[in-house]
């Protein structure tokens, strides 16, 4: 058992075990963010669910994750890695099992939200375990492996979900989490360090975390309910406005208080622009993962497992392309601009060719999009981190994580309403073709916005380089 941090070499068997324990918690949390996407038709048929209810099945998890991930990091600081790991992974396993046995769509949505809350604590906890346990000289490599493995497993989530759905039943996409979580809990007893931090949560931080969760919840409910009501009811509009107002209050509160969620001096122009571009990237990525899989199933009549392979270019291209074109400053932003523009081009092509597109053409366009995404997404995160310095690296990591989850959440909540997708029309091929074309056009414009923002920052980097 480990009692103090920074004592294990990564290449030792204990170091590998610690990395595995941390990776299981992170991977379970990441996979469940998108594993249900390929099972949407089966879930809809089981519960006779409309598009609003299906949106909640997906977004309830993202809402818990996005709203509480910053609070999760604070809980790790307060309770310590061991105690937090046991509670977060244990609760994740429990809520996964309850998702699998849910008798109705309402219960499934509620347990998905609780799953997301547990994941919001498990992700920062897994990273904190590495930082505390692995010796400093191996720390950067351990984190790099942690990120790469988590990204690959997360991207493979839809394929895993498709295989499980076709082979057994969609409920098993939740049941398989339980034995993996139990094994990780047993391993944690031997390899996760003990100890409890003396960092207090503070009343101001708890208040700020509550405001963030409430604001995102009201916005998400308003967007989804507004689409379900046909855009005529006023209550969803008031909900969105109230959510925005709460987030504004949060921003003002953080400017005035000393006990902040994010330390003063972290925000700068580079970080703000990077977060805006990252938000655009995840809006389009979430739309691709959901709508492309549905197109393959509803329009092309592919099985859940076969449709999941449409997304195979995403993890493969990321592993190949991301290590290339590395650079700093000007070179970094040129890569982001090119990547965002390429993604927008692929999205426009998907929208215009939606009526008579074959399976092969769909895969080809997803491949082109994947190249653009692999060029842009990692560079956006690295530029955000580079502008903060090592002292605030943890805070910036929390900010980028929250922004990316919020982008996914808003995309899943708002896009169906924007394109007029209501009721069960998404299960009819002729209707879904129209929805698909509109959705791809909207997210293509969002990608172009990200490209424009990156180009704006590129000009500033060029001026800075010329001045030097």
Q: pLDDT tens digits, residue range 24-67?
A: 887 888 788 777 877 878 888 888 887 778 878 887 887 777 77
> How confident is the model at residue 163, as a pLDDT?
83
Do residues 279 and 406 make contact, with C-beta atoms less than 8 angstroms apart?
yes
Do residues 387 and 333 make contact, with C-beta atoms less than 8 angstroms apart?
no
pLDDT digits (tens, 9 = 90+) for 337-354: 888 899 999 999 988 876
Band (3; pLDDT cuts 50, 70, 90): very low
Residue 215 burial (CB count, 10 A): 20
> How confident is the model at residue 95, as a pLDDT?
93
Answer whether residue 89 shows pLDDT above 80. Answer: yes
What is the Cα gyration radius of the chain? 21
Residue showing tokens 């590395």 = 326
Lowest-confidence pick of 70-74, 335-339, 409-413: 70-74
Q: What is the mean pLDDT of residues 83-104?
A: 89
- Max CA separation in the chain (angstroms): 65
Band (390; pLDDT cuts 50, 70, 90): very low
Residue of 214 and 99 predicted with greater confidence: 99
Q: What is the mean pLDDT of residues 404-416?
A: 79
Specify which residues 307 forms β-bridges with: none
Do residues 75 and 210 make contact, with C-beta atoms less than 8 angstroms apart?
no
Q: What is the mean pLDDT of residues 121-137?
A: 75
Answer whether residue 291 shows pLDDT above 90. Answer: no
> How confident is the model at residue 97, as a pLDDT?
93
Answer whether residue 391 shows pLDDT above 60. Answer: no
Answer whether residue 103 shows pLDDT above 80. Answer: yes
> How confident is the model at residue 230, as a pLDDT?
56
- Give this prediction's pTM: 0.73
Lowest-confidence pick of 85-94, 257-266, 371-380: 257-266
Residue 344 burial (CB count, 10 A): 23
Answer whether residue 277 shows pLDDT above 70. Answer: yes
Q: How far apart are the C-alpha atoms of 80 and 94, rounded to whole Å?
A: 21
Pick the closest to residue 90 from 122, 124, 66 (CA basis): 122
> How confident is the model at residue 4, as a pLDDT?
46
* Tokens describing residue 95: 């809520």
Pick the closest to residue 451 from 367, 366, 346 (CA basis): 346
Residue 173 burial (CB count, 10 A): 27
> How confident is the model at residue 202, as a pLDDT?
63
- Percent of the chain surpassing pLDDT 70: 76
> How confident is the model at residue 93, as a pLDDT?
92
Mean pLDDT taken over the chain: 77
> How confident is the model at residue 445, as a pLDDT?
93
> How confident is the model at residue 5, as a pLDDT?
46
Do residues 187 and 25 make contact, with C-beta atoms less than 8 angstroms apart?
no
**What is residue 112's DSSP assignment?**
H
């Amino acid at each position: 058992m480990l009692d103090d941090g920074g004592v294990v070499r990564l290449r030792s068997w204990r170091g590998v075990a610690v990395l595995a324990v941390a990776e299981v918690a992170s991977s379970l949390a990441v996979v469940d963010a998108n594993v249900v996407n390929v099972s949407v038709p089966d879930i809809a048929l089981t519960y006779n669910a409309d598009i609003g209810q299906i949106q909640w099945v997906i977004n309830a998890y993202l809402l818990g994750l996005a709203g509480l991930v910053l609070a999760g990091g604070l809980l790790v600081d307060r309770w310590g890695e061991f105690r937090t790991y046991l509670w977060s992974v244990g609760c994740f396993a429990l809520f996964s099992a309850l998702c699998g046995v849910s008798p109705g769509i309402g219960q499934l949505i509620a347990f998905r939200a609780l799953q997301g809350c547990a994941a919001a604590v498990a992700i920062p906890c897994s990273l904190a375990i590495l930082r505390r346990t692995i010796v400093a000289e191996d720390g950067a490599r351990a984190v790099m492996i942690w990120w790469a493995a988590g990204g690959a497993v997360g991207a493979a989530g839809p394929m895993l979900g498709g295989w499980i759905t076709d082979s057994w039943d969609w409920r098993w996409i939740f049941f398989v989490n339980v034995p993996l979580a139990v094994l990780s809990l047993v391993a944690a007893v031997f390899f996760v360090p003990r100890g409890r931090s003396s960092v207090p949560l503070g009343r101001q931080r708890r208040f700020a975390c509550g405001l963030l969760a409430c604001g995102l919840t009201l916005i998400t409910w308003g967007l989804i309910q507004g689409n379900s009501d046909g855009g005529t009811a006023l209550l969803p509009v008031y909900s969105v406005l109230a959510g925005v107002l709460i987030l504004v209050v949060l921003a003002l509160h953080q400017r005035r208080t000393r006990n902040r969620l994010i330390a003063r001096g972290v925000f700068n122009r580079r970080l703000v622009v990077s977060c805006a571009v990252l938000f655009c990237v995840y809006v389009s990525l979430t739309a691709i993962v959901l709508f492309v899989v549905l197109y393959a199933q509803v329009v092309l009549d592919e099985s859940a497992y076969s449709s999941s392979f449409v997304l195979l270019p995403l993890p493969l291209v990321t592993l190949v392309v991301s290590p290339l074109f590395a650079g700093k400053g000007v070179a970094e932003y040129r890569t982001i601009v090119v990547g965002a523009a390429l993604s927008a081009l692929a999205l426009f092509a998907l929208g215009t060719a939606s009526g008579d597109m074959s399976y092969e053409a769909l895969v080809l366009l997803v491949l082109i999009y994947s190249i653009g995404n692999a060029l842009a997404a990692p560079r956006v995160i690295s530029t955000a981190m580079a502008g903060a310095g090592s002292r605030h690296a943890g805070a910036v990591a929390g900010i980028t994580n929250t922004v990316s989850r919020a982008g996914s959440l808003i995309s899943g909540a708002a896009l169906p309403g924007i394109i007029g997708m209501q009721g069960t029309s998404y299960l009819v091929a002729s209707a879904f073709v129209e929805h698909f074309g509109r959705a791809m056009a909207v997210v293509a414009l969002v990608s172009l916005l990200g490209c424009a923002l990156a180009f704006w920052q590129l000009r500033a980097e060029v001026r800075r380089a010329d001045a030097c």
